[in-house]
Amino acid sequence: MTDVSTNQTQLTSFRPGALWLDNHGVHINAHGGGVMFHEGIYYWHGEHKIEGAAGNKAHVGVHVYSSRDLYNWRDEGVALAVSDDLGSDITRGCILERPKVMFNSSTKKFVMWFHLEPKGGGYSGARSGVAIAEKPAGPFRFVSSFRPNAGAWPVNVTESEKHPLSASELARINAMELNGGPRPYYPKHALFRRDFAGGQMARDMTLFLDDDGRVYHIHAAEENGTLHVSQLSDDFLTPSGKFARIFPGRFHEAPAMMKWCGKYFLISSDCTGWAPNAARISTAEHIFGPWEELGNPCIGTGAEIAHTFGAQSTFILPVHGKPDAFIFMADQWNPKNAIDGRYVWLPIEFHHDVPMIRWRDEWDLSVFNK
């Protein structure tokens, strides 16, 4: 079918890894994104990338698309623009990754969180950025950036661990090679204490909406070695101060969370930069844990499942109105030509009550009717 207003062929299926054209016939530019549903419409917010390796930094901001059927996406423009003000945290040339948006039904605002690296600092900033809008497609106004949970202790550490690192402990850790080579040393019980006063590091992230309306920010902390599950405040603009450390020293990245039959499931990756690696699935009865790793959720041949179909998780999209229907969203990154990154959307299947993912060249939402 052709849409007469744009002359574009209407899509009726997903083709993971293929170019995915919007209503103007342009490959969708919403990398590391998330999808939210609001009043009958899905909104896909993601990183706007430009051509070449320069595209690994933010030159434009967060792009947004809308859709009623999840196949055909209309370009809604830039939802959050980077700033021309050199003093802004989100000045052009910063790194702005993995934006996610949630609607706050009390304040009636749309709140976006993202991983922010201020310009010029590489990945050393490890901050969270927050922006707010009246409408799902924006325009979003940048509110603040920070390292979350300054001055708060995790809910799942012992009383004896609740004290900042001493100067001599810090000196000893700083003398070790924290992030070089194949993770030679990881001080499992020290880094959250190091970061107590200034706030916890926050890199790869997602937002997760629980059925009680609470939203959680799940982020790579502690030099990427440990994930933090951090509850947001009632207005979603700051952390509430209640957070847990999960999988200390396991280096999970690219978190994406879902809840099914009362259980939480987390799909994540290992920590190998832009290069794909094997996905991991974990489960918990309570969001703050204890969490259990269940292995690799991908089904297929060794090569495919060893690198998650060449992709890295970014979000799990609950299909509206279908309680058992979830779409695994992942990115096939192309760091040499960032704008050409591809999207891998695959349906989640349940095997022995565990969410799993199988490659499909092409599929449509009827898979969820079976």
Residue of the chain from 45, 49, 57, 98 that contacts ligand GAL (CB under 6 A):
98
Residue of the chain from 14, 29, 32, 202 that contacts ligand GAL (CB under 6 A):
32
Residue count, binding to ligand GAL (CB under 6 A): 9
Tokens representing 202?
Answer: 């926050």
Q: Which is nearer to ligand GAL, 81 or 330 (CB)?
A: 330
Residue of the chain from 120, 273, 290, 300 that contacts ligand GAL (CB under 6 A):
273
Binding to ligand GAL by residue 341, rule CB under 6 A?
no
Cα–Cα distance list, 143 to 79, 105, 133, 140 (Å): 14, 19, 10, 9
Give residues 307-336 in contact with ligand GAL (rule: CB under 6 A): 312
Can you tell me whether residue 345 is helix, strand or coil? strand
Cβ–Cβ under 8 Å, residues 115 and 94: no
Binding to ligand GAL by residue 223, rule CB under 6 A?
no
The least CB distance from residue 274 to ligand GAL, in Å, is: 5
The least CB distance from residue 312 to ligand GAL, in Å, is: 6
Binding to ligand GAL by residue 276, rule CB under 6 A?
no
Show the CA angle centred on residue 352, arms to residues 347 and 357, nearest 5°: 25
d(Cα 221, Cα 203) in Å, to the nearest integer?
Answer: 7
Q: Which is nearer to ligand GAL, 70 or 357 (CB)?
A: 357
Binding to ligand GAL by residue 195, rule CB under 6 A?
no
What is the number of the residue whose Cβ is closest to ligand GAL? 273
Q: Say how many CA atoms lie within 13 Å of 223 toward its Cβ.
A: 19
| Furthest C-alpha separation in the chain | 70
The least CB distance from residue 327 to ligand GAL, in Å, is: 19
- Give the x/- contact pattern for ligand GAL in 199-218, rule: CB under 6 A: -----x--------------
How long a stretch of residues is the chain?
A: 370
Q: Which is nearer to ligand GAL, 273 or 323 (CB)?
A: 273
CA nearest 179: which of 244, 97, 272, 117? 272
The least CB distance from residue 98 to ligand GAL, in Å, is: 6
Residues sharing a CB contact under 8 Å with residue 222, sequence separation 6 or more, in sequence order: 191, 192, 195, 200, 201, 228, 245, 248
- Binding residues for ligand GAL, rule: CB under 6 A, are 32, 97-98, 204, 253-254, 273-274, 312
